Amino acid sequence: MKKLLVLLFSFVLVFTLAACNSSSSTSSEETKPKEDKKDEPVTLRIAWWGSQPRHDYTLKIIEMYQEKYPNVKIEAEYAAWDDYWKKLAPQAAANELPDIIQMDLSYFSQYAQNDQIADLSKYVGKEINTKDISDNVMDGGKVGDKLYGINTGVNVVGFHYDPALLKKAGVDSIDENWTWDDYKEIATKAKDAGLFIDTGMKADVFFNYYLRTLGKSLYSKDGTTLGYKDDKMFEEFFNMTAGLVKDKAVPTPDYLAQLKGLEDSPLVTNSGIGVYQWSNQFVGLQQVANRELAIAPMPGPDSDKGLYLKPAMFWSVGNNSENKEEAAKFIDFMINDIEANKLNLGDRGVPGSSVVKDALKPLLSPAQVQVFDYVDWAEGNSSAFDGPDPVGAGQVIETLDSLSEQMAYGNLSVKDAAKQFRQQAESILSQNKK
Amino acid sequence: MSTRVIKENVNADVTIRPISKKSRILKENLTGYAFISPFIIGFLAFTLIPIIASLYLSFTNYNLFAAPKWVGFDNYVKMFTADPRYWQSLKVTLIYVLGGVPLRLAFALLIALILNTASRAVGVYRTLFYLPSLIGGSVAVAIMWRNVFGDVGIVNILLDFFGLTAVRWFGNPTAALWMLIFLSVWQFGSSMLIFLAGLKGIPKSYYEAASVDGANGIQQFFKITLPMLSPVILFNTVMQTIAAFMTFVPAFIISKGTGGPLDGTLLYSLYLFLQGFEFFNMGYASAMAWIMLIIVGLLTVIIFTTSKYWVHYESEGGK
Amino acid sequence: MALKLKTPRWWIYHILVGGFALIMLYPVIWLVMSSFKPSDTIFITAKSLIPDTFIWTNFIEGWKGIGGNTFGHFIKNTAILVVITLIGQVISSAVIAFGFARLEFKGKAFWFGIMMVTLMLPHDVVMVPQYIIFSKLGWLNSIKPLAIPAYFGHPFFIFMLVQFIRTIPRELDEAAIIDGCGTFKIFSKIIMPLIKPSLATVAIFSFYWTWESLLGPVLYLNSPTKYTVSMALNMFLSNETVSNWGAMFAMSVVSLIPVFIIFFLFQRHVVEGISTSGLKG
């Protein structure tokens, strides 16, 4: 019996190690020079998450590509967001990743640093044409000096609001250069008019923005610690947000928890002036609210230091792919081909290519034009992106969310939260030290 | 009394005398293994290696993508000494199990007793009472539940009607956990169905004999129904306890995958999932799984041990 | 019978039980009603149960399905999987359960213990190694990893059937042995008919659990043409923009219908079974 167990155990060891090491073995096969036969039949797997319109237009883009290159067959594997990530992790563990993968920023480092997705630098300028895309946009896909993903487009954070409700609160307009003090003032006016100013700020996104305006960032450059030293910054920011909740200018977290979705959110039901969110969420919000909305930049001072062009998503190539060049060619098609992008219409973020952007403008709906204009404006009024979040960021964000929830409930003082956050986050991030 | 009824019909004392004891034992073993062989083959082929792998991984630092690194008992030590969320998830899960399982079983048994007649109308009721369980863990449940327990939902309207204060079910950690328990009690259908099948296995003759002896309904329930149903009660208790410990889907969909508010619905399985697939600490998740196995295993052993005193197997001639 | 039923007691029974059923069913009724409301008003008019006007567009929209596959296609996929799985689980679990409940052999307690352990270890941590096994077998993107294991028994059903078989008096087997029946005959001719109610229960559970299962299909089915109902339902939702709630509700209702019918047909066998044939005695 004992012998049997030892045998089994060693078998398992060999087995798991084999499974994990085969990624390196496939990539060494990859380096063998491939004969460049243009018309050799190729099958590519492509995976993405999203909703119905995205599935429909992406399938059309695939069809278009297959007509152009009859030797290429593309198998689409699309799913809902939650299901998508449940699929992808075991596929990575088993070296069964699709050739082309739609990647989200929050999982990007995890897949990149473990070499699950390929470095695309060598295809840039060859299979992938990037001459119409600014470096600022391209650099979003870099981890270290390797390029693990091609940006599908960019999003910029902002304040999306209903101008009519703003007037009701006694404020005529929001100035492009508004500040936190203006924001607090408007919030007070909103409260007096029986309105919520917004629905709170997603802690990690907006705290990071705030830190950037002060010249810091949430994570340090090497990702092994927090990017700010002085907990005063934490206290200032969260005193403001928690204070607004206490003053009833922003709904309490238990109120927000009761909401079912966009459809009964305060702005849509005419009880809240605006929402702080990413530019790609504007069109959906406008559609549900079904009235004219506006976009204001983030409050300053120094909003240009705080704002950045966030990669909406990436196209990455699975490291176990045997057809990396072909995969790269299709990615090029998706980001540069004008006809393909006419189907897409900025659904995966405002395109990085200036040529594509100009070609799309006449086709956009009024709300989409607002988004494109805002992103255009932001390009000249923002600073470089800090790069993808380090490994472990998911857990850090979860910690921050949980602490900010406790602060909003009034269960935890801001001072204590600052200390706890530093301690817990640094313990998670310190694991990235080599 | 019950066994007497049957023994009169069958000469139970007659058993076959084996030719050779050794060959009979061999044959018995072979037949036994032949019958359970599908399980053994399936287990060896699909389950054994993953189980051993997970045990091994629980002593490593494994992020799913890179080779595991041996860390000894680090994961276990961290779990018990340096992870308050782990304790929170354990606490929440225990409340969920101890609150939910007895309620759900009692409820299921009560409804099963009420619906244990063969008329067509009752068949419709059985189907209706089972309906909530059929909706299961789909996304529709989450939305439906948000509506029922929402600010202007039916539950709060009723609370208000009876002069009680409305509750922010999704915003209050304790209330949210109880909402999960209500959800599990509401979906009592599977336990009810098993009870029904068990009730039907009780021969009518026993009740007839008992009425002849002058036993009333309540006496019959305690003297016949409960003992005869006890193997099924044991099954339901064990399985519901295990299932409750494993509950994941309702907590995931109702808290939108976070275990909130304030970790109030952070069930063990949900936290394990977050560790494994959101934070990519598969080694830590594996360690959590093995601790869960020990906890649930101990509970099951306890239930089985006590079952000697309250479970009645007809095939084993009473106790 | 019908005459006897209409007593005051009958009325009380039906008012109480029916009324209670109605309360239990309120959320379900809400779900059904919502599927007739326009997608964007479902939450706003949540308080009023009955829609102002019944519209069918959600059903038409939803039935069109996703990416060129109609919802009917997903139902067909699911039905095939369900039937293959159900046959395997019922037969194999019954055979194995008989072995555990009625036969004496060395190591029985050990294997039973192992079986219970497989129930108690959270699936998340065995998932990845299991996935690797199935990938080495070349079973990915097919229903094989979902259906084939069904033919090796399902611990829940095995344990359940064991408990039911143990409630059957052994005297029956012994009588059969005297009549010259072998072990297999006892299994097929004596025990099987007697546990028909519990087999019907297993069939109901097996049908429904496979029907609603999400994780297995998500892991192993890659091509959308192979997706099951539960995956398709999730695809109506969006984490970025507007979800198609109406279609999701409508198709949830549609996907409930087969399970509902199966349950209604099978539940009769759960409660009839031996009570009509009657145990000797």
pLDDT at B15 over 70: no
Joined together, the tokens standing for residue B289 give 């799984």
Q: Each residue of B43-53: pLDDT tens digit?
A: 999 999 999 99
pLDDT at B71 over 90: yes
> Considering CB atoms only, which of B33, B42, B239 is closest to C156?
B239
Most confident segment among A101-105, B258-262, C29-33: A101-105
Q: Quickly tell me which residue has 């919502």 as its tokens.
A: C34
Q: Which of C152, C147, C149 is closest to C226 using CA atoms?
A: C147
pTM (global) more than 0.80: yes
Joined together, the tokens standing for residue C177 give 């042995």
Alpha-carbon distance A87 to nearest alpha carbon in chain C (angstroms): 5
Amino acid at residue number C150: A
In this structure, how many other beta carbons lie within 10 angstroms of the beta carbon of residue A39? 9
Q: Which class for C42: exposed (0-12), middle (13-18), buried (19 or more C-beta within 10 A)?
A: buried
Q: For C182, which residue in chain B has the nearest alpha carbon?
A: B31
CB of A392 less than 8 A from some CB of B? yes
Look at residue C223 and give its three-state secondary structure: coil
Q: Which of A112, A107, A393 is closest to A121 using CA atoms?
A: A112
What is the DSSP pairing of strand A72-79 with strand A42-49?
A: parallel
Q: Give the separation between CA A394 and CA A371, rounded to whole angstroms.
A: 28
CA torsion sign for B198, B199, B205, B211 is positive
Question: CA A207 from chain center: how many Å?
Answer: 16
Name B22's Cβ contacts closer than 8 Å, sequence gap at least 6.
none
Amino acid at residue number C233: L
Task: Grade residue C241 by pLDDT with cuts at 50, 70 and 90.
Answer: confident
Joined together, the tokens standing for residue B295 give 């906890």
Q: How far is CA C2 from CA A98, B121, B158, C186, in A?
A: 64, 11, 37, 39
Q: Quickly tell me which residue has 């293994």 as its tokens.
A: B33
> Considering CB atoms only, which of B53, B57, B143 is closest to A260?
B143
Q: Give the separation between CA B18 and CA C154, rounded to whole angstroms.
A: 34
Q: Which residues in chain A are contacts of B258 at CB distance < 8 A?
A: 398, 401
Q: Which of A356, A316, A317, A364 is closest to A335 using CA atoms?
A: A356
Look at residue C12 and give its three-state secondary structure: helix
| DSSP assignments along C38-49, one per residue | -GGGTTTTTT-S
Q: What angle do CA A59, A61, A62 make, to 5 degrees?
A: 65
- Contact present, B244 and A236 (Cβ < 8 Å): no
User: Which pLDDT value is given to residue B131?
Assistant: 87
User: Which pLDDT value is given to residue B19?
Assistant: 60
Q: Quickly tell me which residue has 């204001």 as its tokens.
A: A296
Amino acid at residue number A414: V
Q: How far is CA C143 from CA A96, B231, B255, C255, in A?
A: 17, 35, 31, 20
A254 to B171: CB separation less than 8 angstroms, yes or no: yes
> Considering CB atoms only, which of A15, A258, A392 is closest to B49?
A15
Look at residue C236 and give its three-state secondary structure: coil
Q: Give the separation between CA A283 and CA C107, rounded to whole angstroms.
A: 65
Give chain A's mean pLDDT: 86
Q: Which residues in chain A are contacts of B67 at CB distance < 8 A?
A: 16-17, 20-21
Q: Which residues in chain A are contacts of C44 at CB distance < 8 A?
A: 263-264, 269
Q: Give the separation between CA C69 and CA C227, rounded to whole angstroms.
A: 10
CA torsion sign for A111, C144, B136, B107 is negative
Q: Which class for B223: exposed (0-12), middle (13-18), buried (19 or more C-beta within 10 A)?
A: middle
User: Which pLDDT value is given to residue A38?
Assistant: 60
Percentage, residues of chain A above pLDDT 90: 53
User: Which pLDDT value is given to residue B165?
Assistant: 81
Q: Give the separation between CA B154 and CA C47, rounded to whole angstroms.
A: 8
Of B43-57, B107-121, C77-91, C246-260, where does mean pLDDT reach its minimum? B107-121
Chains that touch A (3 or more CB pairs under 8 A): B, C
ipTM: 0.86
Joined together, the tokens standing for residue A268 give 């849509």
pLDDT at A19 over 50: no
Chains that touch C (3 or more CB pairs under 8 A): A, B
HEC profile of chain A: CHHHHHHHHHHHHHHHHHHHHHHHHHHHHHHCCCCCCCCCCEEEEEEEECCHHHHHHHHHHHHHHHHHCCCEEEEEEEECHHHHHHHHHHHHHCCCCCCEEEECHHHHHHHHHCCCECCCHHHECCCECCCCECHHHHHHHEECCEECCEECCEECEEEEECHHHHHHCCCCCCCCCCEHHHHHHHHHHHHHCCCECCCCCCHHHHHHHHHHHCCCCCECCCCCCECCCCHHHHHHHHHHHHHHHHCCCCCCHHHHHHCCCHHHCCCCCCCECEEEEEHHHHHHHHHHHCCCCEEECCCECCHHHHCCCEECCEEEEECCCCCHHHHHHHHHHHHHCHHHHHHHCCCCCECCEHHHHHHHHHHCCHHHHHHHHHHHHHHHCCCCCCCCCCCCHHHHHHHHHHHHHHHHHCCCCHHHHHHHHHHHHHHHHHHHCC
pLDDT at B14 over 70: no
B201 to C197: CB separation less than 8 angstroms, yes or no: yes
Q: Give the separation between CA A387 and CA A217, rounded to whole angstroms.
A: 11
User: Which pLDDT value is given to residue A387?
Assistant: 86
Residue among B8, B13, B14, B35 with most chain C CBs within 10 A, to mutate: B35
Q: Each residue of C84-117: pLDDT tens digit?
A: 999 999 999 999 999 999 998 999 999 999 999 9
pLDDT at C145 over 70: yes
pLDDT at C275 over 80: no
pLDDT at A25 over 90: no
Q: Give the separation between CA B174 and CA A354, rounded to whole angstroms.
A: 52
C152 to B136: CB separation less than 8 angstroms, yes or no: no
Mean pLDDT of A374-396: 89
Joined together, the tokens standing for residue B199 give 């009730």
Q: Give the separation between CA A54 and CA A49, rounded to whole angstroms.
A: 8
User: Which pLDDT value is given to residue B317?
Assistant: 57
Joined together, the tokens standing for residue C251 give 């198709």
Q: What is the DSSP letter of C69?
A: B
Alpha-carbon distance A274 to nearest alpha carbon in chain C (angstroms): 17
Joined together, the tokens standing for residue A22 give 């085969």
CB of A390 less than 8 A from some CB of B? no
Mean pLDDT of C227-246: 84
Joined together, the tokens standing for residue A387 give 């790069």
User: Which pLDDT value is given to residue B266?
Assistant: 93
User: Which pLDDT value is given to residue C37?
Assistant: 84
Mean pLDDT of A54-81: 92
Sheet hosting strand A274-278, strand order edge to edge = A274-278, A157-161, A294-296
Mean pLDDT of B282-305: 93
C 175-214 residues with CB below 8 A of B?
Answer: 175, 177-178, 183, 187, 194-195, 197-198, 200-201, 204-205, 208, 212, 214
Q: Each residue of B161-186: pLDDT tens digit?
A: 888 888 888 888 888 999 999 988 98
Q: Give the separation between CA A306 and CA A207, rounded to whole angstroms.
A: 10
Q: What is the DSSP letter of B60?
A: E
> Considering CB atoms only, which of A55, A87, A95 is closest to C66?
A55
Name C194's Cβ contacts closer than 8 Å, sequence gap at least 6.
B201, C168, C172, C274, C279
A51 to C244: CB separation less than 8 angstroms, yes or no: yes
Alpha-carbon distance C233 to nearest alpha carbon in chain A (angstroms): 9
Q: Give the separation between CA A390 and CA A108, rounded to whole angstroms.
A: 9
Mean pLDDT of B129-148: 81
Q: Quickly tell me which residue has 């079904």 as its tokens.
A: A290
Mean pLDDT of B198-218: 84
